[in-house]
Amino acid sequence: MRNQRYIQVFLFCICICYCNALFSQVPDPCFGPDPATHPVLYISNPTCPDHNADFDVALLGLTNFQPILNGFAGDWTIDASSTAAASFAPDVNNPPNLLDEGSSASLIVSSIGTLTITNEVDNFNIPAIPWGSCTQSYTIECFQSDIADNPALTTVCPSKVLLLLDESGSIEASGATPTVESAVMTLVAELAGGETEMAIVEFESLARAVPIGGSTAFQPVDAAYTSAVNTYLTGASSLPALGSGSSNPQDPNSYTPGEDVDAFIGATNWEDALQEAIAIGGADIVIVMTDGNPTFYNDPIAGATGEGNSLDMTALVRARDAANSLKSGGSHLFFIGLGDALTQPIIENSGDEAYVLGASTAAFCTADYFSLDQGCTDVIGCITEIASHITSKQMCQEVIPTMGEWGLICLSLLLLILGIVSIKQPVLLAAKLQS
């Protein structure tokens, strides 16, 4: 009897452990972005007032739903009561939108209104057990342009240059990695000729400060800094090559563009990069080197989320808002478009004044962006020209005394004259007495 009881207890414990293990693997049926933090999502189509042809490439609406754990699947459906027209994007791997680990779903949203989606999670092994569902609603609105003025680059030496460097999978997929590495090394080498301090932030799905020579702070751009940047880009090798860290794009010790779709690594999160620039603070000019397509943004609950492989209008809005905050803090924002950069997303962040090769330093200091695809056949030469404008930026602002400063100058001259007169009078009197 005692042995039988032991066996029963043993079997019960095994059952409990099995059930706990089973339930611990149950995924959260809710998906991002969280409506509590992002109740409004944005689309842009020909019916929207601020529509632009560059936005036609966007897979509009909710995208990149979180994958379901192995053994489970999520079945997403659009509520019939939704007033916003939407449909699931074709997915050859998951035609019924039954999504398991490693897969994702996208929605094409074609009108404004309210969109309600339900996700029901099933278990492949024990289908009779209800694993839960989650319904989320969003307000869909048209994208509206709201570009803040970009302050001109007017500071004098020494200056602080912050480089936001795109490390997304599209950089590698387009074969632009060698171009980016050469551009960065040229920029750093040319800035070494002036009184400049520099820091670097890399970004893909998320952003992170790069420890150049072991420090993420602004540092003088000299021979040692240039060498440390080369190590970050290529290790001990020549361009192009992997940096000194691992091949993981999220390793801040090396520049290694790439992606891991299952781990949501390798998208383009402009918002996080610009928020990092705001957190660092103090930059006179923030240079963004990117392929021009914001595809991810930050959600406090779901984390980094978004389309991932195409322009995401909500990601563009979030990045634009961060760019406006950065510019309001006094930093000049300058985009350098790489690869197949889309112009309009860049304009929505920095402004619409393009830099033209051969223009003056004063023109550069008010420019908002420059595309390497437009008239630049020599990347090194083009970046050298941009760097030379930064090092000679004191020419951007002709120092003219203010009325208050003129008053001080006049007062100083008056006191100097009176001082000279007061000295001369005793000397003249003594000379007369002697005579």
Separation between Cα atoms, residue 323 and residue 70, nearest integer Å: 39
In a domain, 353, yes or no: yes
Residues 137 and 187 reside in one and the same domain:
no
Using an 8 Å Cβ cutoff, are 212 and 219 in contact? yes
Task: Using the 3D structure, point to which of 142, 173, 203 is the last residue of a domain.
Answer: 142
pLDDT higher than 60, residue 429: no
Residues 213 and 341 reside in one and the same domain:
yes
Mean pLDDT is highest, among 51-60, 84-93, 187-196, 233-242, for 187-196
Residues 174 and 216 reside in one and the same domain:
yes
In a domain, 17, yes or no: no
pLDDT higher than 90, residue 16: no
Residues 225 and 292 reside in one and the same domain:
yes
pLDDT higher than 90, residue 281: yes
Residues 37 and 136 reside in one and the same domain:
yes
50-64, 74-88, 157-171, 208-222, range with the lowest pLDDT? 50-64
In a domain, 415, yes or no: no
Residues 177 and 134 reside in one and the same domain:
no
21-30, 151-160, 172-181, range with the lowest pLDDT? 21-30
Closest to 245 measured CA to CA, from 232, 258, 236: 232
pLDDT higher than 50, residue 379: yes
Residues 88 and 234 reside in one and the same domain:
no
Residues 171 and 298 reside in one and the same domain:
yes
CATH number at residue 190: 3.40.50.410
In a domain, 408, yes or no: no
Where in the sequence is the domain holding 66, given as residue range(s)?
26-142
Mean pLDDT of the chain: 81
- Specify the pLDDT at position 428: 44
Residues 186 and 119 reside in one and the same domain:
no
In a domain, 356, yes or no: yes
Task: Using the 3D structure, point to which of 116, 142, 168 is the last residue of a domain.
Answer: 142
Q: What would the 3-class secondary structure string for the chain be? A: CHHHHHHHHHHHHHHHHHHHHHHHCCCCCCCCCCCCCCCEEEECCCCCCCCCHHHHHCCCCCECCCCCCCCEEEEEEECCCCCCCEEECCCCCCCCCEECCCCCCEEEECCCEEEEEEEEEEECCCCCCCCCEEEEEEEEEECCCCCCCCCCCCCCCCEEEEEEEECCHHHHHCCCHHHHHHHHHHHHHHHCCCCEEEEEEEECCCEEECCECCECCCEECCHHHHHHHHHHHHCCCCCCCCCCCCCCCCCCCCCCCCCEHHHCECCCCHHHHHHHHHHHCCCCEEEEEECCCCCCEEECCCEEECCCCCCCHHHHHHHHHHHHHHHHCCCEEEEEECCCCCHHHHHHHCCCCECCCCCCHHHHHHCCEEECCCCCCCHHHHHHHHHHHHHCHHHHCCCCCCHHHHHHHHHHHHHHHHHHHHHHHHHHHHHHHHC
Residues 249 and 335 reside in one and the same domain:
yes
pLDDT higher than 80, residue 261: no
Can you tell me the mean pLDDT for 341-366?
94
What residue has token string 């390497």? 372
117 or 261, greater pLDDT: 117
In a domain, 431, yes or no: no
CATH number at residue 45: 2.60.40
Which value, in Å, is the radius of gyration of the alpha carbons in the chain? 30
174 pLDDT band, cuts 50/70/90, is confident
Task: Using the 3D structure, point to which of 92, 112, 142 is the last residue of a domain.
Answer: 142
Residues 44 and 188 reside in one and the same domain:
no
| Domains contained in the chain, number | 2
In a domain, 270, yes or no: yes
Residues 283 and 332 reside in one and the same domain:
yes
62 or 320, greater pLDDT: 320
Global confidence as pTM: 0.81
- Specify the pLDDT at position 331: 97
Using an 8 Å Cβ cutoff, are 407 and 372 in contact? no
In a domain, 66, yes or no: yes
Can you tell me the mean pLDDT for 67-81?
75
